[in-house]
Chains A and B, each alone.
Chain A
Amino acid sequence: MKVSVDQDRCCGAGQCVLTAPEVFDQRDDDGVVVLLDERPAPDRHASVREAAAVCPAAAITVTEEPDA
């Protein structure tokens, strides 16, 4: 799995940090998303998919890779 974020679209809702705190964070000075782990371990895939699904700004893109 490969994750990417669009910081320009991000509206700082914080849903990703609440859902997958090992993979996403928010910058202290403006609340914008920071990606901590571009290729999260398999046990985090479910929460990353959930974070992408519930992001109100659709700022998270998940690319599934068969071998990852």
Chain B
Amino acid sequence: MRPDDQALRLPLPTDSPLEPPAEWERLRRQCPVATVELPSGDRAAFLTRYDHVKALLTDARFTRPKAGDGAARIAPEGVGGPAADGDGALTLPDRGEPHQRWRRQVGKYFTAKRMTALRPGMVRTAEHLVDEMIRRGRPGDLKAGLGFPLPVYVICDILGVPAEDRDRFSHWSDAFLNVTRFSGEHTRAAHDEFVAYMSAHIEAIRARPGDDLLGMLVKERETDGEGLSDQELIATGMGLLVAGHETTANMIGKMVSLLLADRGRWEGLLADPSLVRTAVEESLRFDANLGFGMRRYLTEDVEIDGELLPSGTTVVCSMPAANRDERAFADADRMDLTRSPNPHLTFGAGPHSCLGQALARTELQVALEVLLRKLPTLRLAVPAEELPRVQGLLVGGLSAVPVTW
């Protein structure tokens, strides 16, 4: 990465909503440490090879940029949500031992066993949502009918917040994650409302803590005095509510679209539903619309691919480009529903890898199983090239998935 390089602009263009940008292949081959220009006009280093992305994501020395780092911003000043540029008031420990302590305190609610215990309830919710979709008649929108509501119901249940408020969460998380649609003023207003809502919710829990995640965290603090502070509880609740539905809602829509875009894939699953687990992992690997990639702010010099990236550099790690790296995956551009092992980087890697990944995996498996069972004749109602994309979100996805059956 040299200052005089012609910088590529992110996000890179693609021909079709489910296809990766052609540029990824060239970058991995010729320019694995590229200079890119973000929508803010700021420059960053862009990594596209599996080994490089994984090495940087697992490097415990570096984390996401914080406000005040002077890191490259995604969106221009005054635009975009707190997720784009960090937020000063509500922060969680983001590195080292304090981060690990927070993560383990919260992470124990997302163990594989707990998710297995939640599974029957998720199946009932998914079945009910699919029945409703069938009742409304075809064609339908799989995103509105199942992809969005399923993870919202599940995360609301885990956090103990009322699912009736889901439209408000959706609005707040949109403002939180959208880097182009809203003005800075609008985003701040949404953020303040969200903080007020979550503060009131935590006050209510304190009076009568239940067995949900936030209730347990409050109880822990009161019994052993080692729990999270008020600010941390609010930030945890907000973070989980946003992360817990937006990403999975998008992924359900993209997974089903990828599987239906080539009918052979769907039929393969109908013939052998035991492939659901590996099919979910392969959909996660194959998804080209993960959004921006993960930023890391370098607080020390780092050498990548023989190139010195100086301290103060902002690096954008493209997990979806790394997931298509032939050096790591045989036939990387082929969607293989039996691929195993599948060490994709969609949930990141290392100490900051997705806290809710067991939850996301379970929700995706449940959504797919229920659809295969209840709607075996499911198909896209528009050509895959015409699927409408979400614009401006840090989390990439489809705004609707028109289907019929």
Contacts and interface: CB of A to CB of B under 8 A. Distances in A.
Interface residues of A, number: 24
B280 to A, nearest CB: 11
Given A14-B115, A14-B357, A56 B348 contact: yes
B111 A53 contact: no
A18 B349 contact: no
> SS class of chain A's interface: helix, strand, loop or mixed?
loop
B112 interface: yes
Contacts of B110: 12, 14, 31
Contact of B342 (A11, A12, A25, A54): A54
Nearest to A55: B343
Nearest to B365: A18
Given A13-B353, A13-B357, A53 B108 contact: no
B341 A11 contact: no
A30 interface: yes
Nearest to B361: A18
A60 B321 CA distance: 26
Contact of B343 (A17, A30, A53): A53
Contacts of B351: 9, 11, 57
A47 to B, nearest CB: 10
Contact of B349 (A17, A27, A30, A56): A56
Contact of B58 (A14, A50, A54, A58): A58
Contact of A32 (B104, B343, B355, B361): B104
Contacts of A50: 340-341
Interface in B195-225: none
Given A11-B353, A18-B358, A31 B108 contact: yes
B362 to A, nearest CB: 9
